[in-house]
Chain A
């Protein structure tokens, strides 16, 4: 038997390709974007797809969130000042729209975004 065999080389090459893959992965696409729903001390993840969600039933807050493939916004809320509704779309990494009376917020998170660690506002 001759070492390494053709199969060995194929296996090794596949392993190498798998290892190398994350290094060349495109970090700027929406793939690593997450949409978080924060209610008081709890954090939920909402899917980034075209839909309108009524949060009343599942989460008990009087709010409606519209989500898209890479952004989201609060379209209805019982907050008196409507600050979260007026805020509009959250789209950038770290961007957040907060409804203080309901202790609720939606936020875009980018897991592998390395450049910025926080935003002062």
Chain B
């Protein structure tokens, strides 16, 4: 009898012990995050542990796609006018999206605006304001109507320059998400310098993403939680320069050919990273009323941080918001 109660006592202790081992074991998240430099920014990939081979696949694919798109862009930019330049299926997709965003923004968003923004030193500097003569000369060349493309080729009517940087990074993220799915990974985050896709859930809860406050040390602007969607922010506080007390951001309006400083930041949630990326720039170029009209059509929640530091939530952003 004494022996029996002793055994059950130890059994009980044993189960308590195991229980706590399991509990404390949960503390380590079971995820691994790797950070590295790619596509002109810091990329952070979070995956369930023990996926080293997938990490490596993703890094290699990201470099390959980025090189491919950059090389194609350079070829097009360096090509003489009137010549047919062959393009990949990826680039054809990007051109179709360029036409879509151009149309959606009534011409404000235009990949040929790089003809002008390049004169200021964007995207990577050194920056300076070009003289009026130079701008005038180049304004005539820019314009989406000056390029024509088929699924296989593109040609330019003028000596313009294009840049798909506003949304091609998002497109690459989406292609990496496809690789994750093919490898049967259904939980993780790909964060390419603040362009994020959230795949699945983190164990038993949804991923939580904070929108950065441009004022250092201040609370996040908003925290959102969702699954199998992307969030991207375009702001005036990362890529810009100041000349004569005027802030020149990297976002240019193709109607006025000028750098635009409309908001401190615009964040968009969409089904794909490419769409969130493109729309964040499109919305940055528009006034609040126009954004409201478009986001209800595209069904994409928007968060705007205005120049006077007001927070505006549109098209259901608050549905994804969690307290923080």
Contacts and interface: CB of A to CB of B under 8 A. Distances in A.
A116 B209 contact: yes
B53 interface: no
A120 B23 contact: no
Given A43-B34, A105-B37, A120 B126 contact: no
B261 to A, nearest CB: 17
A94 B37 CA distance: 15
Interface in B1-52: 2, 6, 9-10, 13, 16-17, 20-21, 23-24, 27, 29, 33-38, 40-42, 44, 46
Contact of B209 (A20, A22, A92, A120): A120
A118 B24 contact: no
A120 B20 contact: no
Contacts of A41: 36-38, 59
Contacts of B2: 3
A6 B142 CA distance: 87
B314 interface: no
A4 interface: yes
A100 B121 CA distance: 14
Interface centre among A80, A94, A118 (most CB of B within 10 A): A118
Given A98-B42, A101-B124, A16 B20 contact: yes
Nearest to B23: A23
A116 B36 contact: no
A16 to B, nearest CB: 7
Contacts of A114: 29
A26 interface: no
Interface string B123-138: 0111100000000000
Contacts of A116: 208-210, 220, 223, 324
Contact of B37 (A36, A39, A118, A120): A39
Interface of B: 2, 6, 9-10, 13, 16-17, 20-21, 23-24, 27, 29, 33-38, 40-42, 44, 46, 59, 124-127, 189, 191, 193-196, 198, 202, 207-212, 216-217, 220, 223, 231-233, 235, 238, 241, 265, 267, 324
Nearest first, the 4 closest Cβ-Cβ pairs linking A and B are A19-B20, A121-B212, A121-B194, A103-B37
